[in-house]
Every structure is written in C-alpha cells, then in structure tokens.
Amino acid sequence: MDLQHLAFLLGTWRGRGEGSYPTIEDFTYEEEITIDHAGDTYLTYLQRSWSPQDGAAIHLERGFIRPGESGEVELTLAHPLGLTEIGHGTLSGSTLTFTTEPGAVGRSHTGSDVAAVARRYRVEGDRLSYEVHMAAGGTPMTSHLRAHLER
C-alpha cells in the first residue's frame, strides 16, 4: 500500500502540552513524538512525555499508523498503563481524526479504566497540534490533552 498521503506526518515533533480531566489536577508536560517510515506499509509512532519541572517521565505510547480499508487510517497503540488502543480514522487534508469503537480499548487486569479515546492531529507546515478526548473511570468522553509541537 502507498503511504505517500501520510508523508506529511514524518519527523520528530517536540513541544509542550496541557492536560486536564475531571478526576485529576490540571498539568503541563513536554513531549516528543517521532513518526517514521519502517520500509513497509505502515508508519511507526513513538511518543514520550515528561514533567517540565523535574524531567520525570509522565507517559509513553508506542504503535503504528497504517492505511485501512476504503481510505480509512488506523492507529494501533500500546500504553504502559496496561492498555491497548485501536483507533479508526479519516484523513481530511492534513487533519487526522481517530476514534475507538466499543471494545477497541484493551485492558490488562491491572490496566487503567479507559473505555474510549478520540484523537485529532493537525499539521500545518512544521507545526503539529493535537487534542485527545477520553472516557475513563465512569467519566463520559471529555477533553484530556492538547499540545502544539514543532518539527
């Protein structure tokens, strides 16, 4: 499969973000996302974030972006929180939108109680911005993360 339509995502993106959720205190974070071509029909996705105050690790995600059926784009991620996430999405210009369908968030016995995730990534030149919405712990889908990164 051709990945040319996803080439605008390639690179290492760095910047700062903000997080909030009804069950936690608001926070800021620094982040790096690397999207690379592995020589096959998918892109690799590597994300890590850390505290701007002391550099302590906050979160990691590892996975793949790949073309789906009928123009769809798929995102598969593994989280160290005991979660896997499968998002199905669309590409419109330079905006990717992914949503998880019921049952598309897998959870280990001790994994975080996340029921659904929705993500929107926008690229404008060398600037990537994104928003993440999440349903977890009985809280319905609500805004959780937003960031602006530079290539």
- pLDDT band with cut points at 50, 70 and 90 for residue 2: confident
Average the pLDDT over 85-101 and give the result. 93
| Tens digit of each residue's pLDDT (9 = 90 or more) over 51-62 | 999 999 999 999
Which of 133, 128, 91 lies closest to 116, judged by CA? 133
DSSP secondary structure letter of residue 112: -
Show the tokens assigned to 81.
């929180």
Percent above pLDDT 70 for the chain = 99
Indicate whether 26 pLDDT > 80. yes
Question: For position 115, which CATH number holds?
Answer: 2.40.128.20
Domain that holds residue 99: 4-150
pLDDT score recorded for residue 103: 87
Instruction: Count structural domains, the chain.
Output: 1
| Tens digit of each residue's pLDDT (9 = 90 or more) over 30-54 | 999 999 998 899 999 999 999 999 9
With contact defined as beta carbons under 8 Å apart, do 15 and 149 qualify?
yes
Q: Decide which of 6 and 102 is more confident.
A: 6
Residue 41: phi and psi, rounded to 5, are -90, 40
pLDDT score recorded for residue 1: 59
Q: Decide which of 68 and 117 is more confident.
A: 117
pLDDT score recorded for residue 31: 98
Distance CA(140)–CA(135), nearest Å, equals 5
Average the pLDDT over 60-85 and give the result. 94
pLDDT score recorded for residue 87: 95
